[in-house]
């Protein structure tokens, strides 16, 4: 899962260049377009018919309500998000190869340009998870002009799991517990928020970003830090997240590790319900 956005002028130019390549590669596939489904902020461009299309678009529309109700953010002003959905992994990778995309190894990705919020993915075993992740980026970037990379990815990892999972991303819990027990990982929000290039994020960084978001989402004070920090600051230097989180929560790093332990003890009891993926799977 990836995010390529115009966070800086240089990257915006690169993204603009890529969107042209993506559009022309897409045009080559457009003869196969089966339908465009539109609902609320979501336009699904299904490049092949699939019986689960309506369920999928409903899930992506409901995702906005879920993000709003769980965070308290107002996403009503978000711009429309175009979701381009390929028939299968092979046709998706033909498309990314044709577009000479640097993210050709990804299952899905999100691109923001000056006038578009585009998600690209394919029908596969993890389509619901992938599109919930990338569409979360779409809702956030369609609402906030700037968003720091770590919290953008942390929120996307939080909301990619089905709503009844309460944001618990089980593979991340297992990875961080394992690394911490082996002495191979210690949390550092200062380090995490210093990363501004999405290509530098490792799997551990995604997991840690998710864990910080999960900790913040678990208390009213944390949620306030999260929502306040996302809003634009005018005429003032932004306080670093690490400083703000420590000011509000105290010893944030030890709280984070306690939170991880608690989640680890709880994941054995969670059983996911059926979602769009289950309806679709071959
Ligand atoms: Zn992402």
**pLDDT score recorded for residue 16:** 44
Centroid of ligand 1 to alpha carbon of 158 (angstroms): 11
In the predicted model, what is the mean pLDDT of residues 211-230? 95
How do residues 234-249 score in pLDDT, each as one tens digit? 766 788 999 999 998 8
Domains detected in the chain: 2-144 (3.40.30.160), 154-269 (no CATH)
How far apart are alpha carbons 23 and 45 in whole angstroms? Answer: 13
Q: Quote the CA–CA distance of 24 and 90 in Å, as a whole number.
A: 18
* Cα distances (angstroms) measured from residue 163 to each of 52, 166, 235: 18, 6, 37
Q: Are 153 and 206 in contact (CB under 8 A)?
A: yes
3-state DSSP assignment of residue 273: coil
What is the whole-number distance in angstroms between the Cα of residue 155 and the centre of ligand 1? 9
pLDDT above 90 coverage of the chain, percent = 59
The Å distance, Cα 102 to ligand 1 centre, comes to: 15
Using a CB cutoff of 5 Å, list residues around ligand 1, an ion: 1, 3, 153, 156
In this predicted model, which residue has the larger pLDDT, 189 or 281?
189
Of 13-22, 23-32, 63-72, 166-175, least confident by mean pLDDT is 13-22
Distance 200 CA to ligand 1 centre (A): 12
Residue 232 has pLDDT above 50, yes or no: yes
Tokens of 198: 């999405």
**Cα 1 to ligand 1 centre (Å):** 5
Q: What is the pLDDT of residue 133?
A: 97
Query: Could you report the per-residue pLDDT of 207-217, keeping only the tens digit for each?
Result: 999 999 999 99
């Amino acid at each position: 899962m990836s995010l390529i956005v115009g966070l800086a002028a240089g990257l915006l130019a690169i993204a603009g260049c890529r969107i042209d390549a993506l559009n022309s590669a897409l045009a080559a596939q457009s003869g196969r377009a089966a339908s465009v489904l539109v609902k609320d902020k979501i336009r699904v461009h299904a490049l092949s018919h699939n019986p689960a299309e309506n369920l999928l678009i409903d899930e992506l529309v409901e995702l906005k309500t879920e993000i709003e109700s769980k965070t308290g953010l107002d996403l009503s002003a978000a711009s429309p998000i175009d979701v381009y959905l390929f028939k299968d992994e092979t046709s998706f990778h033909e498309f990314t190869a044709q577009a000479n995309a640097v993210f050709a190894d990804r299952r899905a990705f999100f691109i923001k340009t000056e006038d578009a919020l585009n998600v690209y993915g394919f029908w596969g075993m993890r389509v619901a998870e992938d599109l919930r992740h990338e569409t979360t980026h779409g809702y956030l970037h369609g609402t906030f002009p700037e968003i720091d990379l770590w919290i953008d990815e942390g929120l996307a990892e939080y909301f990619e799991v089905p709503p009844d999972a309460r944001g618990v991303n089980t593979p991340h819990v297992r990875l961080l517990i394992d690394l911490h027990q082996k002495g191979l990982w210690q949390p550092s929000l200062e380090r995490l928020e210093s990363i501004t290039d999405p290509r530098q994020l490792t799997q551990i960084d995604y997991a840690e970003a998710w864990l910080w978001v999960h900790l913040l989402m678990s208390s009213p004070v944390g949620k306030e830090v999260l929502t306040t920090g996302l809003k634009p600051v005018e005429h003032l230097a932004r306080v670093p997240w690490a400083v703000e989180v420590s000011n509000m929560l105290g010893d944030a790093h030890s709280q984070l590790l306690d939170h991880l332990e608690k989640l680890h003890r709880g994941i054995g009891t969670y059983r996911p319900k059926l979602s769009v993926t289950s309806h679709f799977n071959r």
